[in-house]
Structures are given as structure tokens and as C-alpha cells.
A and B are shown apart, each in its own frame.
Chain A
Amino acid sequence: MGVSIAVAVGLYGISFGALGVAAGLSVWQACALSALMFTGGSQFAFIGVMSGGGTLGAATLAASLLGVRNAVYGVQITALLRPSRTTRPLMAHLTIDESTATALAQPDAQEQRRGFWTAGVGVWLLWNLFTLVGAMLGERIGEPTAWGLDGAAVAAFLGLLWPRLVGRDARTIAVASAFVTLIAAPVVPAGIPIIIAAGVSGALAVLQHRSAR
């Protein structure tokens, strides 16, 4: 299971690399994000804000907020696998959607550990390899609108969002976020609507959490 996830996810690296270069990163900057940030959603957020004309500060903030869920995954992984202090820094780097989901899906401790490492290391290797391929392709393509690269970005974000739209609470937040973004976009500088939407969504989630108790 870990291997099949790794192969599928590695292929997304091509779209990240190509879109990253189209957004204004150099090939090596796109590769640095994949190697060091290594969390697809945040990386796409970073280049998504950039390509929308937002500042690098807004791009960093959006990427950082989207990465908060990885801290929650870290807690789950620590509770599940009880890793030693020395392996934690490396495991932290590999803690992403795919490695966490793979570990959580396994029935026993040994398989959970194996799933986490296979998915984590496998995705990291393929993600970086294909980011490089995509970035080099993107450099040749040049203009982002050529080949519908901007349409690919829209589809990439929708594809990340889709599996999370489960349940009424998530859909309510999505509708509110879309509304806030459209209202804010003409009024505040580029990139900021995404940050406002994140704040509103966080506040809504708190309200939903309270009313659920």
C-alpha cells in the first residue's frame, strides 16, 4: 500500500515543478521546496500565492498555516509508533498526509512502522525526482498560460481540497472561505484574501467544535 501511494504521489511532483517555475521560482528553488519543505499542500500554497501576484511574505504565511496539520499528524505518529528520541527529527521531516494515512491504515505496530517509512521515504524520493523533471519541463514551456498551466494549478488545488469536503462542517467552511475570498480579493493586496479566509475558517471551526459538544 505504501509503495502504491508513493508512486502515485511522486507523479504529482511533475505538476508542482512545472507550476513552481511558471510562478517565478528557479529550478533549484522548486527543488529546495520539495526536498526541505516536503509537504505538497504548503508547497502548492506558496507558489499559488506567488502566481496570484502576492508577496513572498503572504506566500510563506499561507504555506505555514497549511502546514499546521502536520503538527497534528506528528502527535498521532508519536502516539502510534512510540519512536526513540533520536529518530524523531527524521520522522518529523517525513510526517505528511501520505505517510500518516498509510501508518494509520495498518493493523499492527510493525506494519504501521513499515508503512510510515515506506510511504515517507518513497514519496520523498519520487517527489523530488519528479519535481526536478517538472521544473525543467516548466522552464522550456515558459509562459504559464501556454499549455493551460494555470488551469492545471486550479485543478491541482481542487484535487487537494476534494477528499476533505466530507461532512456538513467542512462544506460550510468551504463555502464561507470561497465567499470571503471573492469579497476580499478586489479590496486587499494580492495574497492577503487567502490569509483572511484561513482566519475565518479557523474561527468557524472553533464555533463548530463548540456547538458539537
Chain B
Amino acid sequence: MANYYGIIYLSYRSLKLKIIDLKKMTTLETVVADIPPTVAKNHVFTQELDTIIRGLHGFKQILKENGVTSFKMWANGQLLEPMTAAYLGEQIFTQTGFTIHWLNENQLIYLKAIGVLESLDEQIISDPSFYLLNFGSSSITISKFAEQTFHTNWNFTLDEQLNHEVISSSTNTTANAIEILDDIIGSDLISFRNQFPFLDAGHTLIVQDANFLNRIFLDKKGVKFTKLSSKKFLNIYEKVLYSPNQYLEEKYHIPLSEQTNLVARLILLKRIIALTKVKKIYLTSISAMTGLALAEGIQSHLLKRNYDSMIVSAAQYLAARYDVDLNHCHNVIHNALHLFDQTQKIHHLGHDERLLLELAGYLSDIGNFIGHTDHFNHSAYIITASKLLGLSQTQIQIIAEVARLYNLQTSRQQINERLAQIPPTTGLIIAKLVAILRLAGALDAAFEQKVTKTSISLKANTLIVTAYSTDDLTLEKWTFNRSANLFTTVFGIRPQLKQRMIVNK
């Protein structure tokens, strides 16, 4: 029986529908409705509401024609303020019945990346280590994949306003605007050049969402990856940078308002190619939709994939950057996840929250890098500021609050005060995760990873945690008892720590 699912994605340029068999990942039908470009970035979508709604009505018809009853709609929410997004969502729901799930930048990058990873097997790209450069609508992300697993990523935002000013002001001076732009972008890249861990020379670069290059070079027959020779790239580079505006408008249909951005992006691409010293460049037609289909398939248990590891890797990399004791983290996470799995019946949390627990385990102590005093608050704001791959705003908030409240010195009253500012459902999740993490953290209070194996059992109103260790666990027991208070408050069950000497190792 085919599992057809309708994936609807609204981006700034188009409204797309794909009917996909989630199990086989084959597409039954693809429909694209173009949206004319909006000039004002903050009025995106609102001006084209009619076109969008008309398109959605058409999609409804097509879903009916194919007998598809499961579908979901997502939209790119990067440039919108939360309330504007909410209003738009309401309007579209009222007129079409579709509920929009807004995606933030991190989620989009994640979705686009898993789309690429999924398709690598079938394709000509044999290099297991590569870079993925994504030209998003508000910022550009470059990710490094080593041995087909995600390693790190880096974000840039091209300052469009500044670039525009440079180009327009240079008409009055003798300076060459392109050269100035080149220098500006070069300077933007300095921190990238100094801090990003590069692969050796000679690897592959995959470029995603480069609309202009896609339009010209992408294989029309629907092949997912098209090779872009450096000769062809340099050719088009020269053309775009040094041709008159009217020529670009007529020959390549690039409106005047977008030419500066295009020039900036091409300059950036050229510099990145130089910095990464890649040998091969591929353009890909894979977009967020493949990722959305994958995510849905995984969630419906029709596909077995583990792309969470990408998110965990990103967190690990971040933790490493802030000099966190990774051994301690691994131990705490190990114990915390075991505790989480064994107390499922008490906390009723799901797979998503389990992931957040793991991430919180890595990131709770990063604030120590700034300073030990108040380090938990430092952790919280660093987490909020760092663009963690694949997580929604709420999820990032949860991790940040868990980091903030994890510290034993935070009293119950302070916790409640803090959580009162957060919607109750989210607050409850935070409280539960903090409770569990505290227990696990207590088991490594000495930072010596004394407890590597635990056994959990639930008896009446007591949770018995048996630690298998031959070491002295006095500090750990004392810390555990202090940590147990929150657990008891949240779950109504008192945790107890018992020690068992391991007989056979």
C-alpha cells in the first residue's frame, strides 16, 4: 500500500507541492506555482497573498485528485517577525484550511542538508568528505562533512544595504565598486578563514539554492547533481561582474534590484572556492522539500534514518569550541539518557525531548568559558545566540533554560519564577529535563567519571538508582540527595542512590 503524503512548501520565490511516497521516497507529482518577487523584504508573502491562496486552492484540488489525505504545509519564516507570521498563518488557514508550520533558519539548513545526504548514494559524488554551501535567503551557510557525517557549519550574512551603498556611491568616485565589494566580502571572511576547520585541498563543494547558477547550468532532465566546471563558473563570473546592467537584465532576466546581491554572492562563492581549495564543484537541485519529506517519513516511522547525529555533532563541536570537558559530558549524557529511557512511564516525554536532553548535556557548561560566576546564565545566552542546526526556536529555548536552571545553586523558587515567564507546556518540559539532568550530573560530581553503569528501578514512590562502581561515592551521594529535591517536586517520586560494588569487571 502506497503511503502518499503531500508536502507543501512556501518559500519566497515559489509555492511547491510534492506528492511523495514516504516509504520509497519516490515523487508521484510535482507542482510549482511561481510567486513574483517582492521588493520589500519585510513585506514578503503579505503582498502576494492572493497568488498564494490561489495556488493553495489548486493544490487542494490536486491532492483530492490523487486521493492523498495526509499532507502538511511549511513555510520559510526567516524574514518574518513572529506576530506577522502568526497573522499570515491565520489568514491562510481561514481561506484555505491549511495550517502553516513556520521554519526558522536552523531548521531549513538542517532539512536541506539531510536532503543532500540522502541523495548522495545514488550520485556521482564519490568523495565522502565535502563542503555544502547553501545560499539561503537571509544568510549563507557552509557546512563541512567528513566521511559523510556532519562536522561543523558556519554562517555569513551579506549586508545587502552596505553592498548596495557601495555600488551606488561608487558612481561618483574613481574607485571600482566591484573591487571594494570584493574587499568587504574578503574581510567578512577573515574569521571564517581563521577559525573554520578546513578539509585538505582537493575535495568537493556542493552548492545549494544558487538560483541564478541553477537556472543556467542545472541539468534540465531532473538529475540531482550537475557538475559545474571551473571554466564555466569563471566565465559566468566575469560576465555578471563586468557586464552592463541592461545586458544582465535582458539576457539573464535579473532585475536591477537584485543585481548587487547576485554580484556579492558570486564574489563570496569565488572566494570560498579559493579558501577551501576544492577540486570539483556541483550544483544541486535538492531543496528543502526533500528534507521535509525525509523528516515526515522518519516521524511516521516509515523510514529508518538517523539524522539526529548531525545535530548532536553540531552541539559537540560547539561544546569543544568552548573548552568543555567532553569526558564529563559523555558520562553525564550516558547516564542521563539511560535514566530518561528507564523512566519513560513517569515523564512521558518523547524522542524530540530525548534529543534536547542530550544536547543540553553537551551545552550546559559552555558558559564557563566566559567566567565561572554566573556561568549558567552565560550558557543560556550563548545557546540562544548560536544557530543550532535543525532546532526550532522553542527547542533552543528549552535547551537554554535547562542550561540555566541545571545549576544546583538555583533554588526552587528561582526556578518557578523563571518558568513562570514561559508557556506552561514548555516550562514543564524544561523542569522535567532539568530534574533528570541534575540526577545524572550528580553522578559525576567529581568530574572523574566514576559511575559508568547504572540500573534504574521504580518501586512505589521511590526511584532507586543503583550505581555500579568500586570508587568512593560520598560526594556523588551527597550531591545526588540535593539534586533529588527537584525530581521529587516535579514527579512526586523520591530518587535514591545506592551503590553496588562491581564483582566481575
Q: Is B truly associated with A?
A: no
- B residues in contact (CB < 8 Å) with A: none
